[in-house]
Chain A
Amino acid sequence: MKKRKPGATAALYIFVFVVCIVTLYPYFVTFVTAAKDTSEMYAANMTVFPKVWEWSNFVDLWSKAPVLRYLTNSVIIAGGATALAILCGVPAAYAMARMRFKGKTFFLGAVIVSQMFAPVVLLVGIYKLMVDMHLTNNLMGLILLDAAFNQAFAIWLLRGTFLSISPEMEQAAKIDGCGTVRAMTRVLLPMAAPGIVTTLIFVFINAWNEYTIALTLISNDVLKPITVGINTFYGYNFIQWQYLFAASLFATVPVIILFLCIEKHLVSGLTSGGVKG
């Protein structure tokens, strides 16, 4: 790359600086508010930083509400949905990447279209279905729904990964007497590992951050995932912002770390796997 003019470099740094400040500001607020005492929360003379850093908030919050239960529920829901989405998605993506069959274009089209319908538009129908199946206030219901609504994305990313790997190795394995299943599990899947891990993490994060379906289907406090559970601190008369934000940090930090791990793969998967196939 050629050298920039000094003016352009300065402008670049100023722009980037502003972007960072604006982006990080809400996280900064979350953090300092989580460390404030209740008495400071609504005080007339508010300060940016806490007058006294109440680190005990981060300990106390676990006993103020079943936060550990919420986080465990989130792990179960997101973990279950991820496992189910991958178990169903891998064979489907494999068929769509490696096999020729009637109606393939139709199935591909159906997968793309299903991506369009966020659960919220269908919520009335989903609620009715879950009531009929006795799956309200049931983690299994959320697992099934999260897996289904992530299916399109999982198939799309996995298919893109499979297509980018040459089928020759599998064909060689088949000549050596491997069946299709063995050729896939022994040859293709290890090579597709980065793409599979990306898909795993992405589905996990989506299910972890899901709010709307859980809000609708779960009213039993001990079954709430963290996204719904933190609203316990958001009372009608009294909002415990410090605990709300401390719990939010516990729900957010691991996910950001996971996301940073896959960011590179995910984006290339999105655009290349997504458009070019």
Chain B
Amino acid sequence: MKKHSTLKHAEPYIWMLPSMVLMCVMIVIPIVTVFRLSMSKISKAGVVKGFNGFENFKTILESPTFIHILVNTLIWTIAVVGLSTLLGFILAMVLNQPFKGRKFVRAVVVFPWATSLIIQALVWKYMLNADYGALNVLLVKLGIAHSYINWFATWQSTFAWECWVGIFVTVPFVTFCVLSGLQSIDSSFYEAAEIDGAGFWKKLTRITLPLVRPSLTVSTVLNIIYVFNSFPIIWTISKGAPADKTHTLVTYLYQLAFSNGKSGEAAAVSVIGFLILCVFAGIYMVMTLKAEGSES
């Protein structure tokens, strides 16, 4: 009988075992490895030459490149998430209205969400090419531009275009999250508000925004993480060029590790990125579990 009850106690853990083993091996071990490597001296060939304390962090943090890249990462994350959220919210409000062809528009908005980032990055790289890019061809044919424009003339313009591609691929996710929130709002709220003479802004700020806030929170927090970690767009369009000016944290660490053979420094950048993500993760976890707690 006693044995039986031990088994009963262990049962939930047995059910979770496969999943936990998979995640521990594939996620936890790499996390530990990254921390270990960040404090190791590593040869170009990838051989660990022993512990060197915070030497890698010192090298990274002392280089002006890294500070520039941290600022880039911040701009990239805030610009892409912020503008996508704004655009996605407006689009969701529009798609929540009844109009002819709404189904079609909803389907179209799904496209960038379902398409691989690498393919979208390649298409935009082609379209923005200065010599034969489709955007220049179109602008000249339409008479908007007189000659081909070099969209990637400066690192700032390159980075701005990368942000645009980031926004382009992120908007659908926000739109559908907000849309699901909007659809759950009871229309009687609006009817009552109209009887009380509330205008568009009053309805927006007093009814819509408070009620879609949970959906908006999920989409914003998840997007912060996705965008912060986004690699293919910048890697495909500029690879950080010119002179490491358009890197974000993840493309920089990829270049350090797999192009420059500086695994130790790359691991240090990983740890810094990891710690930044931990802050986001902590906030997200507290919010999610709080929402969970208030529900039950």
Contacts and interface: CB of A to CB of B under 8 A. Distances in A.
Interface in B185-235: 187, 194, 214-215, 217-218, 225-226, 229, 231-232
Interface string A254-277: 011011100100111011101111
A275 B34 contact: no
Interface stretch (A60-68, A125-133, A166-174, A185-193): A125-133
B52 to A, nearest CB: 16
Given A107-B16, A145-B26, A208-B116, A124 B267 contact: yes
Interface string B26-61: 110111111001000000000000000000000000
A128 B225 CA distance: 24
A150 to B, nearest CB: 10
Interface string B166-187: 0010000000110111000001
B288 interface: yes
Contact of A95 (B15, B27, B33, B187): B15
Contacts of A260: 107, 110, 114
Interface in A83-130: 84, 87-89, 91-92, 94-96, 99-101, 104-105, 107-109, 112-118, 120-129
Given A118-B226, A126-B30, A271-B180, A148 B273 contact: no
Contact of A122 (B34, B181, B280, B289): B34
A84 to B, nearest CB: 7
Contacts of A277: 291-292, 295
A162 interface: no
Interface stretch (B63-71, B126-134, B151-159): B126-134
A222 interface: no
Interface of B: 9, 11-13, 15-16, 18-20, 22-23, 25-27, 29-34, 37, 91, 94, 97-99, 101, 104-120, 122-124, 126-127, 131-132, 134, 137-138, 141, 168, 176-177, 179-181, 187, 194, 214-215, 217-218, 225-226, 229, 231-232, 250, 253-254, 257-258, 263, 266-267, 270, 273-274, 277-278, 280-281, 284-285, 288-289, 291-292, 295
Chain B interface, DSSP helix/strand/loop, else mixed: helix
A277 B293 CA distance: 9
A178 interface: no
B274 to A, nearest CB: 6
A216 interface: yes
A88 B20 CA distance: 8
A55 interface: no
25 contacts: A1-B98, A16-B101, A23-B109, A46-B132, A89-B19, A99-B15, A105-B289, A113-B285, A121-B229, A123-B253, A124-B30, A125-B29, A125-B32, A126-B30, A147-B22, A149-B26, A209-B118, A211-B232, A212-B231, A230-B119, A248-B122, A256-B111, A259-B110, A259-B114, A275-B291
Nearest to A27: B111
Contacts of B105: 16, 19-20
Contacts of A4: 97
A205 interface: yes
Contacts of B11: 95, 99, 180
A147 B281 CA distance: 21
A220 to B, nearest CB: 16
Chain A interface, DSSP helix/strand/loop, else mixed: helix
B127 A26 contact: yes
Interface string A134-147: 00000000001101
Counting chain B CB atoms within 10 Å of each CB, which of A24, A89, A272 scores highest? A272
Contacts of B18: 87-88, 91-92
B270 A125 contact: yes
Interface in A15-47: 15-16, 19-20, 22-24, 26-27, 29-30, 33, 41-43, 46-47
Contact of B99 (A16, A89, A258): A16
B159 to A, nearest CB: 19
Contact of B126 (A15, A33, A96, A100): A33
